[in-house]
Structure 1
């Protein structure tokens, strides 16, 4: 533990000469007294660390000296590709490795290039989790990540969502985990069922990590599995996401949209549904309205989505959904009619009170 901290301290001083004890203590999460002791330990190990007092002082390495502790470990190099995802690194248990990797990389750069390299960190940040939801890392995520890094087959137990209010069903599978994906704050693992070569889909499966209830090394798997060189995680996920989104669209709604409604449709409906709907759109009528068939998950989902378009959308079919919109419109009209009548009555009372006040003021 201390050895790793000493390496980080030496790299910090090399990449950012003049750091004070207070700054080093904050970076290394130790006390300033420990910084002083660690600096002495580095000197005893042959690394020429020196401290200077006063304005512009701090810790420096002897002129011309550069530590040779800058060779990247493979795991550190891999984490550089995730350096813009601090929450993901933390969930995977790779924060320390990523921090050390960035320090090593910074230490290898010429002073003139360090500021350019660090500027990207100051200017770009990716916050993956969704709003209004406290992200929670699944308990088995770090262990699963180690299996992904080392190409180790695992046996996992997965809780399938129950149907019709039934309890989740537990299923066990021996899989080869190919990659992890963080989507809107939720972790997924893309894996291939071991020995599933005869299946039409090749045995590829995607599991939500927070539904994995148990994880263990695959029985008899002593060696890493042979990863398919042609596998592209990003392309696989994109294709799978599009296919999954379309399987959810089980209902079709015929709707007439104004030009404004057509323009706002992509803001309230998922991309796959929008593409199919636009492909079915008719030629605009004399009023500029188009009629199209909109795929949706259900009538409830379609009702919530199209309600956001207000009077820019008119549902033509199914009749049951059109009836729901008629009932909603009638309820809103009645609500606002009552509210308007109340405000008028209050307005008359206020007027009478104001007129009486003016009379009293005139009498004074």
Structure 2
């Protein structure tokens, strides 16, 4: 642990030029007394750390000294690809690996590029979780992430109406709109489990041979598309204004909006288009289409059209 901290201290000085003991202590999450001891140890080992005394002083490396200890470990190299997802990486227990990998990359950058991390951080930020959700990660997530990294077979307890037990080979984790999903091989096929419904994870002590041809992103795209197709078993025929067509994705989803753009008849003289939309059910479509207000007219089925007319009529009465 101390050796890793000493390397981090050298890399911090190498990438930032000069830092006070207080700044180093804050970065390394140790006391200033520990920083003093670490600097003495580095000096004794031949690393030229120089101390500038006085109120504005600090520590720096002498004579442009640069360490060659910038090689990434396998864990750090893999974690680096999650550096844009600091929050999710931390949820999986990889915050330290990501931070160390970033530090090593910064130390390896030439002086002309030393401001690159700062510039990127000032200009781009990814906030992955959805609105109004619980920001805390599901309890089993770290155990599952560890099993995914090590290709370890596990037993999971899964809440699906009643609790069931499954032995699975965890292939990957997916973060979708703030929710975590486990993709695992069970028998000859792959299945998806919501992590917040997993109530327990037990390692089985054995490792599985991963199918190196398995494409996690491709599997996720195909399975989510199949899920949506399975959900959207009904149809409604509607007329949409230009504004309604633009707003459709906010009320019925991106897939419905894309379908409407591709399948709609040419617009009439008023700019409105007629389209048949796949929906989960007439009841669900009723709630979704009400959000479009005067930018949608339901043509069929007749029962849904009557419900829309009755609801919009009552709304109009409130404003008369």
1-side partners of 2:95 and 2:149: how far apart?
15
Deviations 1:18-75 (A, max 9, x none): 1122221221223333322322232233322221135874211221432233221100
Alignment-derived partner of residue 77 in structure 2: 77
In the alignment, is the contact (CA less than 8 A) between 1:180 and 1:189 conserved in 2? yes
Deviation at 1:307, TM superposition (A): 1.5
Alignment-derived partner of residue 239 in structure 2: 256
Q: Gapped runs of 5+ residues in structure 1?
A: 161-167, 197-202, 338-364
**Residues 227-266 of structure 1 mapped to structure 2, 5 A cutoff:** 227-266=210-249
Instruction: Check if 1:47 corresponds to 2:47.
Output: yes
Alignment-derived partner of residue 67 in structure 1: 67
**Residues 25-40 of structure 1 mapped to structure 2, 5 A cutoff:** 25-40=25-40
2-side partners of 1:136 and 1:300: how far apart?
33
2:253 corresponds, among 270, 273, 277, to: 270
In the alignment, is the contact (CA less than 8 A) between 1:266 and 1:274 conserved in 2? yes
1:206 corresponds, among 192, 204, 217, to: 192
Alignment-derived partner of residue 361 in structure 1: none
Deviations 1:72-126 (A, max 9, x none): 1100111000001111111011111111111112222222232235432332221
- Greater mean deviation of Cα atoms: 113-122 or 249-258: 113-122
2-side partners of 1:263 and 1:144: how far apart?
40
- Greater mean deviation of Cα atoms: 42-51 or 310-319: 42-51
2-side partners of 1:111 and 1:290: how far apart?
57
Instruction: Check if 1:174 corresponds to 2:157.
Output: no
- Greater mean deviation of Cα atoms: 261-270 or 6-15: 261-270
1-side partners of 2:310 and 2:59: how far apart?
74
In the alignment, is the contact (CA less than 8 A) between 2:245 and 2:257 conserved in 1? no
User: What CA RMSD, in Å, does the superposition of the two structures yield over aligned residues?
Assistant: 2.1
Deviations 1:192-239 (A, max 9, x none): 11x32xxxxxx1111111111121223xx53x3222222221222122
SS of the equivalent of 2:181 reads: strand
Deviations 1:139-197 (A, max 9, x none): 1111111111111122212111xxxxxxx22222222111111111111111111x32x
2-side partners of 1:293 and 1:68: how far apart?
63
Alignment-derived partner of residue 217 in structure 1: 203
Mark the CA change 1:65 to 1:279 in structure 2 (over 3 Å): closer, same or farther.
closer
TM-score between the two structures when normalised by the length of structure 2: 0.91
2-side partners of 1:285 and 1:102: how far apart?
56
Give aligned pairs, total.
Answer: 320
1:183 corresponds, among 176, 185, 191, to: 176
Q: Which has the higher strand share?
A: 2
1-side partners of 2:15 and 2:240: how far apart?
60
1-side partners of 2:212 and 2:198: how far apart?
27
Deviation at 1:280, TM superposition (A): 4.2
Deviations 1:289-334 (A, max 9, x none): 3322111122332122211221221112223322222222221222
**Residues 246-325 of structure 1 mapped to structure 2, 5 A cutoff:** 246-325=229-308
1-side partners of 2:241 and 2:218: how far apart?
36
Mark the CA change 1:31 to 1:152 in structure 2 (over 3 Å): closer, same or farther.
same
2-side partners of 1:290 and 1:124: how far apart?
38
Which is higher, the Rg of structure 1 or of structure 2?
Answer: 1
Mark the CA change 1:56 to 1:115 in structure 2 (over 3 Å): closer, same or farther.
farther
SS of the equivalent of 2:19 reads: coil
Deviation at 1:279, TM superposition (A): 4.6
1-side partners of 2:240 and 2:274: how far apart?
6
TM-score between the two structures when normalised by the length of structure 1: 0.81
SS of the equivalent of 2:245 reads: helix
Mark the CA change 1:105 to 1:284 in structure 2 (over 3 Å): closer, same or farther.
closer
SS of the equivalent of 2:96 reads: helix
In the alignment, is the contact (CA less than 8 A) between 1:249 and 1:273 conserved in 2? no
Q: Gapped runs of 5+ residues in structure 2?
A: none
